[in-house]
Amino acid sequence: MTTPDALPGTAESYWMDTAPGPRWPRLEADTTADVVVIGAGMAGLSTAWELIRAGRNVAVLEADRVAAGVSGYTTAKLTAAHSLVYERLRRTRGKEGARAYARSQQGAVEQVAAVAAELGIDCDIERSSALTFTTDPHQRAMFEAEAEAAAEAGLDADFVTGTDLPFPVSAAVRVGNQARFHPRKYLLALADDITARGGVIHERTRVTGLTEGSPCKVTTEQGVTVSAADVVVATHYPVFDRALHFARLSPRRELVVAAPLPASEAPEHMYITDDMGKRSVRTAPFDEGRRLLIVTGESFTPGTGDSRERFLRLDGWMHEHFRVGATAYRWAAQDNEASDGVPLVGPFHPGARHVYVATGFGGWGMSGGAMAGQLLAAELTGAEPEWASLYDPRRLWSTVREGSALLQQQADVARHFVGDRLKSTHVDSVTDIAPGSGAVVRVEGRRCAVYRDEEGTAHAVSARCTHLGCLVAFNQAETAWECPCHGSRFGIDGEVLHGPALRPLPPRSI
Ligand code: FES
């Protein structure tokens, strides 16, 4: 038994490391608001800010810290170019659907730029093009069709074969007028502006109950309630599920590595490819004469194997293709992909009058979150953008057209629910677990998730996810328990790191 070797780079996101935030108080007493927004990431804070500007009294409740969940670990591309999306949208939602998607997403890019300018936020926002590329010559026709569909949808898009990447590509779609920024600097300033305008923000305030009505009531794990006319659930994966959204969302985890390179060698634009298990590239300001190259990839379902090999593969790719220095950071991002590829933003369920949801942004939560803020603020104040129906979570057409994706998602969940109980990778005894490792082990007939720390002390919690009961698996590179069914994540002592689970894994004595 050996302790796993360290991976390269500091295990923290660049955004978290370079923009520490102030602390907002926990909610300690019952209160009221016009609107409660649950979740203080890009979607939640954008919605709160837009609503306050529209004259609403808003309370934001965050289970952890502001902009410290998915929004603190994104690659922070602000773009309407979401890989190969427009040709598919044109086929499935028609030309108008593709145009609506382009208008709303490009509008979100422009909105973030406008808000940053209006509030004087120094968030390193930079304009550039976004390119989706392939190195496979057989895919040329597909990329030509995508470029044509994106241009037809109204974007500044064209087909190219030359890029400023340090390796050749076979085909690419270039979309101009996109942007990249520092998400924490932007969101922390937005949060400050929300409170300056009379809104309230409460951190370490996990919402565990929601009663719909007039008014609606949300309850925190401390038993405190907030009454409000309207509630927005913007918790990445919805912490409440009244419309089987979990059946329409697939969690996906992606790894990120970052290293400095000379500014003169930094690619000017942002890039993404589905080749090699996905690779996404952008740079950010770093220090004198250098920029930070940020590379994302190795997409996988949480709880399906250790990230260690994936980190090493991604880091190797970065060093092979770019003249970077030593790896400075490594982190991971988590996304939810809607089964039809279009986010779910709007009324929570068919009967919902005062509860709204924003989720399913795929890997595009920065433009998607800003778009959701504009859309939900408009819906709550009586307006309705022409593209609202595109994102409406109640869209019925999708249950027909998404049939195979939905069935696949449910088959995956069933496989994890049943198959993981028989896994041969689960160890037979706690003594088989090496220091610094974790495994699922049966103790007195019960599955326990056991982590042995570097000093040899075992930390044991239930291995049954508190969301819907699938078995968790250990991610050694990130020292966390992960559920493969809907992506909940837990710390070694069972605390919830990422929903939809609301309750921690209970401790077990072994
Ligand atoms: Fe749904 Fe674990 S996240 S069962």
| Segment 334-369, tens digit of pLDDT | 999 998 999 999 999 989 999 999 999 999 999 999
Confidence of residue 142 (pLDDT cuts 50, 70, 90): very high
* Whole-number pLDDT of residue 423: 55
> Is residue 402 scored above 80 in pLDDT?
no
- Mean predicted confidence (pLDDT) in 243-251: 81
* Whole-number pLDDT of residue 227: 98
Longest dimension (CA), the chain: 63
CA–chain centroid gap for 319, Å, is 26
Contacts with 147 (C-beta within 8 Å, 6 or more apart), sequence order: 157, 158, 159, 173, 174
Q: Omega into 500 within 30° of 0, i.e. cis?
A: yes
* Whole-number pLDDT of residue 2: 35
> Is residue 168 scored above 70 in pLDDT?
yes
Lowest mean pLDDT among 12-16, 97-101, 286-290, 302-306: 302-306
Q: What is the dihedral of CA 266, 271, 273, 278, to 10 degrees?
A: 70
* Whole-number pLDDT of residue 424: 42
Structure tokens at 136: 């496979």
* Whole-number pLDDT of residue 237: 83
Q: State the Rg of the chain over Cα.
A: 22
What atom in ligand 1 is closest to the CA of residue 413?
A: 4
Cα separation, 480 vs 476, in Å, equals 7
Cα separation, 71 vs 490, in Å, equals 18
Helix (H) or strand (E) holding 190: helix 183-196
Check if 501 has its Cβ closer than 6 Å to any atom of ligand 1. yes
What atom in ligand 1 is closest to the CA of residue 251?
A: 3
Query: Taking the CB of residue 429, how many other CB atoms lie within 10 A of it?
Result: 11
Tell me the CA–centroid distance for residue 468 and ligand 1, in Å.
5
Q: State the DSSP code for 263.
A: G
> Is residue 68 scored above 80 in pLDDT?
yes
Is the pTM value of this prediction over 0.85? yes
- Mean predicted confidence (pLDDT) in 251-267: 96
- Mean predicted confidence (pLDDT) in 140-150: 98
Query: Taking the CB of residue 47, how many other CB atoms lie within 10 A of it?
Result: 29
Residue 485 zone, left/alpha/beta (φ > 0; ψ -120 to 50; rest): alpha
CA–chain centroid gap for 204, Å, is 20
Contact 294, 281 (CB under 8 A): yes
Cα separations (Å) of 471 from 424, 439, 446?
Answer: 13, 11, 11
Check if 468 has its Cβ closer than 6 Å to any atom of ligand 1. yes
Q: Which of 5-9, 238-242, 243-247, 467-471 has the highest mean pLDDT?
A: 467-471
* Whole-number pLDDT of residue 397: 47
Cα separation, 157 vs 80, in Å, equals 11
Check if 467 has its Cβ closer than 6 Å to any atom of ligand 1. yes
Residue 224 DSSP SS3 = coil
The torsion angles phi and psi of 361, rounded to 5 degrees, stand at -80, 0
Handedness of CA 210, 481, 74, 97 (dihedral sign): negative
Structure tokens at 55: 């004259």
Structure tokens at 42: 């890009």
Contacts with 224 (C-beta within 8 Å, 6 or more apart), sequence order: 27, 28, 29, 30, 31, 205
Higher pLDDT, 502 or 195: 195
Contact 420, 90 (CB under 8 A): no
> Is residue 411 scored above 70 in pLDDT?
no
Cα separation, 75 vs 501, in Å, equals 25
Check if 333 has its Cβ closer than 6 Å to any atom of ligand 1. no
> Is residue 1 scored above 60 in pLDDT?
no
* Residue from 334, 483, 490, 502 whose mutation best tests the ligand 1 pocket (most atoms within 8 A of CB): 483
